[in-house]
Structure 1
Amino acid sequence: MVAAGTLIWISIRPLIRLVLCVSCGFAVTKADLFPVVAARSLGQIILNITLPSLMFSKMVPAFTPENVGALGPLVLVALIYEGLGMAMAWVTRTIFWVPHRFRYGILVAGGWGNVGDIPTSVIMSITGAAPFGGSDQTLSVAYISAFILVYMITLFPMGGHHLVAKDFVGPDVEPDEVREQVRERRKFILYGWPNAFLNYVRLRRLRPSDSFKDDSDPELQSPTIEPKKETPSSSSTRPRPAKHVSFRNEQVDYYDVTHDHDLDASTAVPTDGIATPAPSHFASPAGTVTAHDLESEIQEEDEPRGPSEVVEKKPLTAPQRRRKRIVSQLKMAVKSILTPASLSMIISIPIALVPSLKGLFTATSNSHIPNAPDGEPPLAFVLDFASFMGAASVPLGLICLGSALARLKIPRSEWSNLPVGAIFTLAFLKTVVSPVIGVLITIGLTSARVISKEDKVLQFVCMFFSCLPTATTQVYLTQVYSGTGSAEFMSPFLLPQYFLMFFSMTGLTAYSITYLF
């Protein structure tokens, strides 16, 4: 049994380090020493070099044929947490009003959390010291990689980012109209549905002959619902704005450490008629999906066509449009899977499970491969390089997180016009209610023998991932799809979550260690 004082210190220590790293990024950004261009470049370095190196250096030594079965429970828990978060966001949207341009984005905010630098930093710190063992730190990062892989696949190849795009389809709806709709819905949820249910039961009990009775009897008349008149605001088409932000040469980062380097809307101003950005001097890494690829899934670029070209081009038939959409989605999925981080994880698992391959990188008991002249395996220098580069991933990612938070605009004078109920309800559900449910899910899966009772690292990782705030990557996706380069609804939803996160993580860590040890 760990002493109370020791338990509190173990829980708070990694968060202190996290706050210091984030504060450094916040400070240099506020001091105008870390511009958006630098944040973008650093994000690409993390995404394409340091993060894949970290995953490779931890997964190859950690996974063995005995513990590789943990990948199944990890993927299951990751999917459960995403579904749970989306359900919480849906409940929040049902009870409280949410801006019309955030009606689907709130589902993404609930379902996809910051699975990158925050859990990696805290979990590595906790599992690297007592009461965990010496090799538990390496194993914990290998387990974290499963959550990162599920995050990437569900958000991009499986189309989670389309929810953000749907927010900007159709005309605007005034906040007063949205508030009135939610108010009526709330009345029905609280006391309207019992009356409707009783009326339904009463009508079902009427004999067939009752249907011929005098309609003037109010007791026998069924409630009639007038068809809702369609207003111009209910149209499903949205006029295309005359101006739009060009993102042709910018890349969407899947790992949250890129932290949406264009958080400041003023940096995304280029519009039609001014000038599009010059091509980047740095080549895009192979397999990286660009923001233009994402935009092309929602709408095709408007290009001037001559009269002859318009006449000659035939409209696509329904099967052709369907085939074109499927091909586009397949290309998107392949590009998402072929990112360096995903490839690193895909390559690491076979190497870790095949003894003859693993013996090339690290010493194993059942490998008969001769060592290099220095007594190390022939490719040990590759693992050394990956470990050296991967060590920079977490601190650099936290600096980017601090930079992203520094660029969020805090509407101090507009809180009265914001959806305060939805903001604080979602923050409470994700940082307080979700950890409680996550602990119960982990305990239940352990009792059902889906999660091994002996693998305390696996149980701790599953519990910890239940208290993550919304991923800041959603800010960048919102900027891409908004058509204006702005994401004004995201800041108020993010800031309370990241504030409450420090308290919920401390409590969850303390309870998890007490339960496991």
Structure 2
Amino acid sequence: MVAAGAIIWISVRPLIRLFICVTCGFVLTKADLFPVLASRTLGQVILNVTLPSLMFSKMVPAFTPENIGALGPLVLVAVIYEVLGVFMAWICKTFFWVPHRFRYGILVAGGWGNVGDIPTSVIMSITGAAPFGGSDQTLSVAYISAFILVYMITLFPMGAHYLVLQDFVGPEVENYEVQEQVREKRKVLLYGWPKALLRLCRRQSMSTKEDPDPENQSSTGQYTPEKEQEQSPSFAIRPRSHNKRVSFLNNSNSNNLDHHRTYEDHELDATTAVPTDGAAQSHIASPAPTVTAHDFEYENPREKDSSPRSISGELEKTEPPPPLTESQRRRKRILAKTKVAIKSLFNPCSITMIVAIPIALIAPLKGLFTPTSNASIPNAPDGEPPLAFILDFANFMGAASVPLGLICLGSALARLNVPRSEWSKLPTGAIFSLAVLKMVVSPVIGVVMTIGLTSAGVISKEDKVLQFVCMFFSCLPTATTQVYLTQVYSGTGSAEFLSPFLLPQYFLMFFSMTGLTAYSLAYLF
């Protein structure tokens, strides 16, 4: 049993190191020594070189046929955490208003946490010392790679990053309109269903007491539909006074056709083209003209000069190929998305896992990189396995992954700018509820779930590293990768709506992560 003071110090020590590394990136960015271009370039170096090297250097020695079965529980836990995060974000979105340009981004912020820099830094520090063993550090990084793989596959090949893109599709919607919508929705969820249930029960109870003889209904004073209408209050939701309707005004005597269209609940008609400039802001748009066969006819000026003229002097008109059918367009879209998904799947981190796992499980291949007892592979002149230099390179390069990643994290946090005067206009309810759910409620659920899976035999009771990793990943803030995605998809290079959601999470992280680590170590040891 480890002493309480030792557990607290073991839990705080890696966070101090993490804080110092993040502060370095923060200070460099504020001093204008680490520009945006350098940060993005360094991010590409991490994703394509240092992080795959770190994963390869830890997975090949760590995985064996005895512990490879831990990949199944790791993938299961990773998927559960993502689904749980999305559900928590949906709760925040339902009961608290969120800016229109962040209506889908909040789901990504809830489901996809920072699975790379923070857990690798903290878990490597904790598992590299007592009460863990000497080889537990290597095994922990191998377990972390499973979470990184699920993160990469679900965010990019499976298309979760397109949710960030959907935030910037369609016209702008004012905040007060979104607030009114959420207010009405919250009223229905909190007060509407009890009233509807009460009315249903009242109808059923009154119908059982109803006299089957229609002549006695009025004389006995029993239940009648007219009396129900007079006695029972109306529980119908009052319609919003500012609801708008779609109207089309057609004047056949005029040469100009004006289409006045307004939006209800701010949903666009998929068949109407709405401009993104001032016309969209005034909610007045002209519908796209109907495409006919005559619209495909065109004249090429070069052909007008070079082509021979007919007797009537008119140009020979050429027609483009016929338009694609709906099934052909659908097939083309599916094929394009499939190509993008396959291309995204073969990123360096995924390829590293695909290559490293077979090497770690096949004894002759593993003997080429690291000494093994059941592989008779002749050594190199220096006494090491023939390909040990590749593993040395991966160890050397992978050691830079964590500090560089933390510097990029500090740089990203330094660029989050939320003026103090704007806090009163921000969705504080959604901001703090998401922070509390992710950094306080989620760790409690993660610990309970890990204990339950261990009791059920899904997670091995002897593998304390596996249990600690599963518990720790329940307490991760939103990934800073979403900042870069938002900057790209917004078209303006800003992430103004995401910034206020990140700051409270990373502030609470130091307290909740310390408490979670201390409790996990006390429970395991």
Q: TM-score, normalised by structure 2?
A: 0.82
Cα distance, 1:445 vs structure 2: 0.3
Rounded Cα–Cα distance in structure 1 between residues aligned with 2:325 and 2:226: 51
Selected match of 1:442 from 450, 453, 456: 450
Offset from partner CA, 1:161-212 (integer Å, 9 cap, x none): 1221222222222111111222222223333321111113334564798999
Offset from partner CA, 1:13-68 (integer Å, 9 cap, x none): 00000001011111111111111121122111111111110000000000000000
- Identify if the C-alpha distance between structure 1 residues 224 and 184 changes in structure 2 by more than 3 Å, giving closer, same or farther: closer
- Identify if the C-alpha distance between structure 1 residues 198 and 36 changes in structure 2 by more than 3 Å, giving closer, same or farther: same
What pairs with 1:281-320 in structure 2 (closer than 5 Å)? 307=298, 312-320=320-328
1:418 corresponds to: 426
- Is structure 2 residue 343 aligned with structure 1 residue 335? yes
Offset from partner CA, 1:456-483 (integer Å, 9 cap, x none): 0000000000000001111222222223
Give the aligned residue type for 2:267.
Answer: S
- Is structure 2 residue 129 aligned with structure 1 residue 96? no
1:379 corresponds to: 387
Rounded Cα–Cα distance in structure 1 between residues aligned with 2:431 and 2:424: 12
Cα distance, 1:390 vs structure 2: 0.4
What pairs with 1:193-272 in structure 2 (closer than 5 Å)? 193-203=193-203, 206=207, 215=226, 217-219=229-231, 229-230=244-245, 231-232=262-263, 233-236=266-269, 239-241=274-276
Rounded Cα–Cα distance in structure 2 between residues aligned with 1:312 and 1:62: 61
More deviation, 140-149/35-44: 35-44
Cα distance, 1:327 vs structure 2: 0.9
Give the aligned residue type for 1:508.
Answer: L
Cα distance, 1:213 vs structure 2: 5.8
Give the aligned residue type for 1:36.
Answer: V
Check the 8 A contact 2:192/2:237 in 1, yes or no: no
Cα distance, 1:226 vs structure 2: 8.6
Give the aligned residue type for 1:218.
Answer: E
Rounded Cα–Cα distance in structure 2 between residues aligned with 1:118 and 1:69: 25
% identical equivalent positions: 73
Rounded Cα–Cα distance in structure 2 between residues aligned with 1:229 and 1:242: 22
Rounded Cα–Cα distance in structure 2 between residues aligned with 1:53 and 1:366: 25
Cα distance, 1:317 vs structure 2: 1.6
Check the 8 A contact 2:195/2:235 in 1, yes or no: no
1:393 corresponds to: 401
2:182 corresponds to: 182
Rounded Cα–Cα distance in structure 2 between residues aligned with 1:307 and 1:515: 77
Rounded Cα–Cα distance in structure 2 between residues aligned with 1:163 and 1:515: 38
1:61 corresponds to: 61
Check the 8 A contact 1:432/1:504 in 2, yes or no: yes
Rounded Cα–Cα distance in structure 1 between residues aligned with 2:232 and 2:416: 58
2:138 corresponds to: 138
1:493 corresponds to: 501
Rounded Cα–Cα distance in structure 2 between residues aligned with 1:311 and 1:241: 32
More deviation, 28-37/231-240: 231-240
Check the 8 A contact 1:215/1:221 in 2, yes or no: no
Check the 8 A contact 1:57/1:390 in 2, yes or no: yes
Offset from partner CA, 1:216-274 (integer Å, 9 cap, x none): 7434798667987544233245735369xxxxxxxxxxxxxxxxxxxxxxxxxxxxxxx
2:332 corresponds to: 324
- Identify if the C-alpha distance between structure 1 residues 226 and 16 changes in structure 2 by more than 3 Å, giving closer, same or farther: closer
Rounded Cα–Cα distance in structure 1 between residues aligned with 2:297 and 2:389: 59
- Identify if the C-alpha distance between structure 1 residues 59 and 306 changes in structure 2 by more than 3 Å, giving closer, same or farther: farther
2:254 corresponds to: none
More deviation, 171-180/16-25: 171-180
Check the 8 A contact 2:63/2:360 in 1, yes or no: yes
- Is structure 2 residue 387 aligned with structure 1 residue 357? no
Cα distance, 1:315 vs structure 2: 2.9
**Any idea what SS the aligned residue of 1:466 has?**
coil
When Rg is computed on C-alpha atoms for both structures, the one with the higher figure is 2
User: Structure 1: any 5+ residue segments left out of the alignment?
Assistant: 244-304
Cα distance, 1:369 vs structure 2: 1.0
Give the aligned residue type for 2:442.
Answer: S
Rounded Cα–Cα distance in structure 1 between residues aligned with 2:225 and 2:430: 48
More deviation, 201-210/336-345: 201-210
1:109 corresponds to: 109
Rounded Cα–Cα distance in structure 2 between residues aligned with 1:68 and 1:361: 18
Cα distance, 1:486 vs structure 2: 2.5
- Is structure 2 residue 520 aligned with structure 1 residue 512? yes
- Is structure 2 residue 490 aligned with structure 1 residue 478? no
Check the 8 A contact 1:89/1:107 in 2, yes or no: yes
Check the 8 A contact 2:192/2:235 in 1, yes or no: no
1:429 corresponds to: 437
- Identify if the C-alpha distance between structure 1 residues 236 and 169 changes in structure 2 by more than 3 Å, giving closer, same or farther: farther
**Any idea what SS the aligned residue of 2:474 has?**
helix
- Is structure 2 residue 121 aligned with structure 1 residue 126? no
**Any idea what SS the aligned residue of 1:46 has?**
helix
Cα distance, 1:432 vs structure 2: 0.6
Check the 8 A contact 1:203/1:222 in 2, yes or no: no
Rounded Cα–Cα distance in structure 2 between residues aligned with 1:402 and 1:240: 38
Rounded Cα–Cα distance in structure 1 between residues aligned with 2:488 and 2:381: 53
Cα distance, 1:156 vs structure 2: 1.1
- Identify if the C-alpha distance between structure 1 residues 483 and 35 changes in structure 2 by more than 3 Å, giving closer, same or farther: closer
Rounded Cα–Cα distance in structure 2 between residues aligned with 1:321 and 1:229: 34
More deviation, 314-323/223-232: 223-232
Rounded Cα–Cα distance in structure 1 between residues aligned with 2:235 and 2:191: 17
- Is structure 2 residue 465 aligned with structure 1 residue 457? yes
Q: TM-score, normalised by structure 1?
A: 0.84
2:314 corresponds to: none
Structural RMSD (CA): 2.4
- Identify if the C-alpha distance between structure 1 residues 241 and 235 changes in structure 2 by more than 3 Å, giving closer, same or farther: closer
Offset from partner CA, 1:407-432 (integer Å, 9 cap, x none): 11122110000000110110011001
2:293 corresponds to: none
Rounded Cα–Cα distance in structure 1 between residues aligned with 2:386 and 2:440: 49
**Any idea what SS the aligned residue of 1:368 has?**
coil
Check the 8 A contact 2:56/2:356 in 1, yes or no: yes
Cα distance, 1:311 vs structure 2: 5.5
Rounded Cα–Cα distance in structure 2 between residues aligned with 1:399 and 1:487: 19
**Any idea what SS the aligned residue of 1:218 has?**
helix
Cα distance, 1:318 vs structure 2: 1.6
Give the aligned residue type for 2:161.
Answer: H
Rounded Cα–Cα distance in structure 2 between residues aligned with 1:170 and 1:33: 37
- Identify if the C-alpha distance between structure 1 residues 189 and 350 changes in structure 2 by more than 3 Å, giving closer, same or farther: same
Check the 8 A contact 2:171/2:276 in 1, yes or no: no
Rounded Cα–Cα distance in structure 1 between residues aligned with 2:322 and 2:420: 53
Offset from partner CA, 1:467-513 (integer Å, 9 cap, x none): 00001111222222223332210110000000100111100000000
- Is structure 2 residue 7 aligned with structure 1 residue 7? yes
Cα distance, 1:357 vs structure 2: 0.3
1:290 corresponds to: none
More deviation, 8-17/315-324: 315-324
Rounded Cα–Cα distance in structure 2 between residues aligned with 1:506 and 1:496: 16
Rounded Cα–Cα distance in structure 2 between residues aligned with 1:223 and 1:316: 51
1:19 corresponds to: 19
